[in-house]
């Protein structure tokens, strides 16, 4: 069995692992010797990433679609058109990102990606180094970045789950306005979750249509398929279409579970990152840009100290606001659509976009707070202060 010594092991080479790899590749010969251990054998176009684009957003060159108009509406005819020319809503497809980052990593001989890998057991500390045992060999490393998502059973204290399933469809007739995306088209309020359809039109005949729920329960793809089928039928209005691709996901919003704390054993030599370790913005689930910010910071830290860092914590104010908002949604799912509609109709759109995409300042936070009805939030603050 092979034994390899290295500076850094990255477990999992998805969005976080490959984003870090891309940044490390730019260090050239100065990059730490890094091995990426990935369980999948091949990369497929398994997801799309959307975010509000600001200047200097990483991977802008890969953006496939941009929408400078985004619509939000509920079932009671309230609706808002968000004009976002200066920070358009944009989409990057995973297969382009994988190809681009894998190519860059391949060009740096300090970096190596191994696919089809299975860990035989959890990494263990031997002296000052970590031993990682896999089906293809053993690795001794000074540091580990673990991007594996935690199983959902171990995340029972998550405040809210964002569950979604979507079809990318091609229609025989033009049905969509490719200039306007639907960020949230709410379904009838219900006592279990806040539900909405998300529509990204790529052309007059092609769109990604997703059904999403924000609820205290995580829903599987199968649980949501019926809702998706109904909403797709609604959008295609009886016209013929074919399904090109299906995507689904589960994003924890508001983490309650702490990862096992390896940092106590050997400070900063083992960090957990990714969607179950704080990369997702609690109130929105947006993750992609936060991963990019982490990948840049972590690269600098590796350059400076030889050790990695995890995601940085949100400011006290932002995390409290997100926490209260998520708890209001969790305890009042039937109010979800009207709360979002209040936000989208009462807050100026540049402010709201800054708030949603982590670019907000205190005045933006204040504008969001004053747009929302005080009673459910005061109740939640009261409940929170009694804990």
Left (φ > 0), alpha (ψ -120 to 50) or beta: where does 140 sit? beta
Interface mask toward ligand FAD for 7-36; x: CB under 6 A: ----xxxxxxx-------------------
Q: Please, are residues 92 and 48 in contact by the beta-carbon 8 Å criterion? A: yes
Binding of residue 339 to ligand FAD (CB under 6 A): no
Q: For ligand FAD, give the closer residue by CB, 190 or 312.
A: 312
Which residues, numbered 266-305, are part of the site for ligand FAD (CB under 6 A)?
Answer: 274-275, 279, 286-288, 291
Residue closer to ligand FAD (CB basis): 251 or 309: 251
CB 147 within 8 A of CB 11: yes
Calpha distance 189→344 (Å, rounded): 17
Q: How far apart are CA 79 and CA 109, in angstroms?
A: 53
The residue (of 72 and 372) whose beta carbon lies closer to ligand FAD is 72
**Binding to ligand FAD (CB under 6 A): which residues in 49-88?**
49-51
Return phi, psi of residue 241, to 5°: -150, 160
CA distance 119 to 231: 41
Q: Mask: binding to ligand FAD, 232-271, rule CB under 6 A, as x and -?
A: ---------------x-x-x--------------------
Phi-psi region of 201 (alpha: psi -120 to 50; beta: other; left: phi over 0): beta
Measuring CA to CA, how many Å separate 209 from each of 49, 166, 275, 280, 340?
14, 5, 23, 22, 20
Shortest Cβ distance from residue 327 to ligand FAD (Å)? 22
Shortest CB 113 distance to ligand FAD, Å: 11
What is the rounded distance in angstroms from the CA atom of residue 291 to the CA atom of residue 279? Answer: 6
Give residue number: closest CB to ligand FAD.
14
| Residues 181-220 as x/- pattern, contact with ligand FAD by CB under 6 A | ----------------------------------------
Looking at residues 139 to 168 of the shown chain, list those that interact with ligand FAD (rule: CB under 6 A): 147-148
Q: Which residues bind ligand FAD (CB under 6 A)?
A: 11-17, 37-40, 47-51, 117, 119, 147-148, 247, 249, 251, 274-275, 279, 286-288, 291
């Amino acid at each position: 069995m092979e034994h390899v010594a290295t500076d850094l092991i990255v477990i999992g080479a998805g969005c976080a692992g490959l984003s870090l790899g891309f940044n490390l590749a730019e260090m050239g010969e100065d990059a730490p010797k890094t091995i990426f251990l990935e369980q999948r054998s091949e990369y497929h176009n398994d997801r799309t990433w959307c975010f509000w684009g600001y200047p200097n957003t990483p991977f802008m060159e890969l953006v496939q679609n941009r929408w400078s108009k985004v619509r939000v509406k509920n079932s009671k005819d309230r609706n808002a058109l968000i004009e976002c020319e200066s920070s358009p809503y944009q989409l990057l497809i995973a297969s382009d990102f994988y190809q681009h980052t894998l190519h860059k990593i391949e060009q740096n001989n300090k970096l190596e990606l191994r696919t089809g890998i299975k860990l035989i057991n959890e990494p263990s500390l031997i002296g000052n180094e970590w031993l990682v045992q896999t089906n293809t060999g053993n690795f001794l490393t000074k540091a580990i970045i673990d991007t594996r998502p935690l199983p959902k059973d171990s995340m029972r204290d998550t405040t809210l789950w964002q569950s979604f399933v979507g079809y990318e469809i091609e229609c025989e007739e033009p049905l969509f306005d490719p200039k306007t995306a639907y960020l949230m088209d709410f379904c009838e309020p219900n006592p279990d979750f806040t539900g909405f359809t998300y529509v990204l039109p790529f052309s007059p005949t092609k769109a990604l249509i997703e059904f999403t729920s924000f609820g205290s329960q995580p829903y599987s793809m199968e649980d949501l398929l019926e809702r998706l089928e109904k909403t797709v039928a609604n959008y295609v209005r009886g016209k013929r279409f074919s399904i090109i691709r299906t995507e689904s996901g589960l994003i924890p919003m508001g983490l309650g579970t702490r990862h096992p704390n390896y940092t106590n054993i050997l400070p900063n030599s083992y960090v957990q990152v990714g969607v179950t370790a704080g990369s997702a913005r609690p109130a929105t689930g947006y993750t992609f840009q936060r991963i990019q910010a982490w990948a840049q910071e972590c690269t600098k830290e590796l350059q400076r100290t030889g050790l990695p860092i995890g995601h940085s914590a949100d400011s006290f104010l932002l995390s409290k606001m997100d926490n209260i908002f998520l708890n209001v949604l969790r305890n009042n799912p039937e109010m979800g659509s009207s709360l979002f509609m209040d936000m989208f109709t009462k807050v100026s759109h540049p402010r709201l976009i800054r708030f949603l995409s982590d670019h907000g300042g205190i005045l933006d936070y204040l504008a969001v707070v004053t747009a929302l009805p005080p009673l459910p939030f005061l109740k939640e603050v009261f409940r929170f202060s009694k804990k």
